[in-house]
Every structure is written in structure tokens, then in C-alpha cells.
Amino acid sequence: MELWYTEKQTEYFGITAKIKETLVAEKTEFQDLAIIDTVEFGRMLVLDGMVMTTVKDEFVYHEMVAHPALYTHPNPKKVLVVGGGDGGVIREIMKHPEVEKAVLVDIDGKVIEYSKKFLPEIACELDNPRVEVIVNDGYMHIHDHKNEYDVIMVDSTEPVGPAVELFTKGFYQGIYDALKDDGIFVAQTDNPWFKADLIRNVNRDVREIFPVVRVYWANIPTYPSGLWTFTIGSKKYDPLAVDESTIPEINTKYYSPRIHKAAFALPKFVEELCK
């Protein structure tokens, strides 16, 4: 008998993958968590029925959350990751020796626990001495840490369950206050095919708070539509002003100095959402 996992990405559309084995299936305090081993994409982390990451394509998302902001800020010493309990963004941050401390705040400790056990190639830097892991509410953390971080990265699920507050103007204002005077934040902001209103609303809210706002994109096949956006809000530095010749070639599979600027060239229908 064949077993298949299906994510219903909209009421009328979804993706499906053949399962080899279910490694974890548990209802945590905050969400339904599963880790399954699939034929096409390898081990896959699923929260509340949505694919969060897979061994095969995770590098795209994690590299594109971390590197554009870190190479835009000239001296990112202290970095915060809100969410991201799988550890992929932390792994990418640790490729930047100038980062003295990275703080990970995830509300669900089970995500961290099971990622270490079943996704070691993604969670491999969570025990790095430069990393502090906190199991707590990221929304509250930023409100309790004013003027502290050079870069803040929001690696959240889609806006359901415990992540709903991470897509509000109050949260973005809290991020602004938690950043230093030249700080930068980046957040994943979903896809333009099915969540156009979300991108439009986030862009409007962030523009009312940050003087520099840029949207960029990447191709992630297991995320709804495959076209995924990210939004940067910066107090001072513009990612488009970065001299790509100063960006070193690091150990990545997707991000590169050429991609740094190319990713900000938006399809016209996405550009329209950001006006």
C-alpha cells in the first residue's frame, strides 16, 4: 500500500508527496507537529498541516532569510531569529564570523527537540557557543529587548496559530524598537499567487515604520506556488546599494553575490503589490 502526504495549500489546490516513513506525529502545546520521510524531498517538517522545510530544498529558504540582510548591514554583531526552531537560519548566520551572538527564540520547544534528532543537517549549529536558544514567545521577546539587535530575522510559519501576531503592525513596531539605530529586519512574507493581500498589507505596515523597505523573492518548490517573498525593513542601509564585489563567495547553494541584487528584481504583478 502506498502512503501519500498532501498539503492543501488553498481550498482548491495542494501538493502531494509519497511517504516512506512517519518519524514523528505529535500534538504539541501549540501546534500539530510531524516529521515524515518522503521519497522526493527526503525528511520533511510539517506544522499544522503545512510544509515548513525539507532536506532537499531547505537551503533556498534559509540562505535567503539570512544572507541578504547580513551582507547589507556592515557590522552585524548581534542577531535575533524569531521562530526558526529547525535551526536552518542559525546555521546560515554562523557562516558570518563577524556575528558575535545569535539568539533564537521559538515558542515551541518540541520543534527544536525533534529537529535536532531528525533534521541534524539543518539543526547542526544550535549548540554552537555563539548561539543562545530560548523557548519563549518571540513577540514578547522583542518588546522586552529595546535597542539591542543589529539584525532581526522573522522565520515564522504562515499567519495561523501562534504565528498570527508575527504579521501585525504592532510586531513590526516592536522590531523597530528592538533594533539599534542602524538595524535591519527581514521576514518571510508568503507568496503572491495565493496571499497577495498579505504581501500588500505587510508592505504598507512596514513602510509606515521603516525608511527603507525592499521585497525580494526566491524559488522554493515545496512552498505554496513555489514563488516566495521576503521583506526587508531597514533604518539606514539599502540592500540595493551594496557593492556586490564586496560580498564574499561563501558555502551556499542558492545565494550568491549575483543573486543578492537579482532577487530584488520583482515580476511586475508582485511589484504592483508593493506600491
The CATH number of domain 3-54 is 2.30.140.10: yes
Distance of CA 179 to the CA centre of its chain: 18
pLDDT of residue 49: 92
pLDDT of residue 159: 54
Look at residue 231 and give its three-state secondary structure. Answer: strand
Flag whether 257 is marked binding: no
Q: Which residues contact 164 (CB under 8 A, 6 or more apart)?
A: none
| Planar angle of CA 133, 221, 215, nearest 5 degrees | 70
Told to judge if 238 belongs to the known catalytic residues of this protein, a careful annotator would answer: no
Flag whether 86 is marked binding: yes
pLDDT of residue 83: 94
Q: Which of 267, 257, 258 is nearest to 191 (CA)?
A: 267
pLDDT of residue 156: 80
Flag whether 162 is marked binding: yes
Look at residue 137 and give its three-state secondary structure. Answer: coil
Flag whether 188 is marked binding: no
Answer positive or negative: Cα dihedral of 263, 224, 167, 58: negative
Look at residue 273 and give its three-state secondary structure. Answer: helix
Fold of 58-273: Rossmann fold (3.40.50)
pTM: 0.95
Flag whether 31 is marked binding: yes
Q: Which residues contact 246 (CB under 8 A, 6 or more apart)?
A: none
Domain with CATH 3.40.50.150 in the chain: 58-273
pLDDT of residue 273: 94
Joined grid coordinates for residue 225:
506556488
Joined grid coordinates for residue 198:
498579505
d(CA 190, CA 187): 9
**What are the CA-CA distances from residue 241 to residues 86, 175, 212 (Å)?**
31, 23, 11
Flag whether 138 is marked binding: yes
Q: Are 84 and 157 in contact (CB under 8 A)?
A: no
Q: Which residues of 240-271 are buried (b: 16+ CB within 10 A; e: fewer)?
A: eebeeeebeeeebebbbbebbbebbebeeebe
Answer positive or negative: Cα dihedral of 28, 101, 240, 248: negative
Q: Are 61 and 91 in contact (CB under 8 A)?
A: no
Look at residue 4 and give its three-state secondary structure. Answer: strand
State the catalytic residue, choosing from 57, 108, 155, 205: 155
The pairing of beta strand 32-38 with beta strand 42-47: antiparallel
In a structure prediction context, what are the per-residue pLDDT tens digits for the chain, which is 275 residues long?
Answer: 789 999 999 889 999 999 999 999 999 999 999 999 999 999 999 999 999 999 999 999 999 999 999 999 999 999 999 999 999 999 999 999 999 999 999 999 999 999 999 999 999 999 999 999 999 999 899 999 999 999 999 998 665 555 556 568 888 999 999 999 999 999 999 999 999 999 999 999 999 999 999 999 999 999 999 999 999 999 999 999 999 999 998 999 999 999 999 999 999 999 999 98
pLDDT of residue 207: 95
Q: Which residues contact 15 (CB under 8 A, 6 or more apart)?
A: 6, 7, 9, 51, 222
Helix-strand-coil split of the chain, %, nearest 5: 30, 30, 35
Domain with CATH 2.30.140.10 in the chain: 3-54
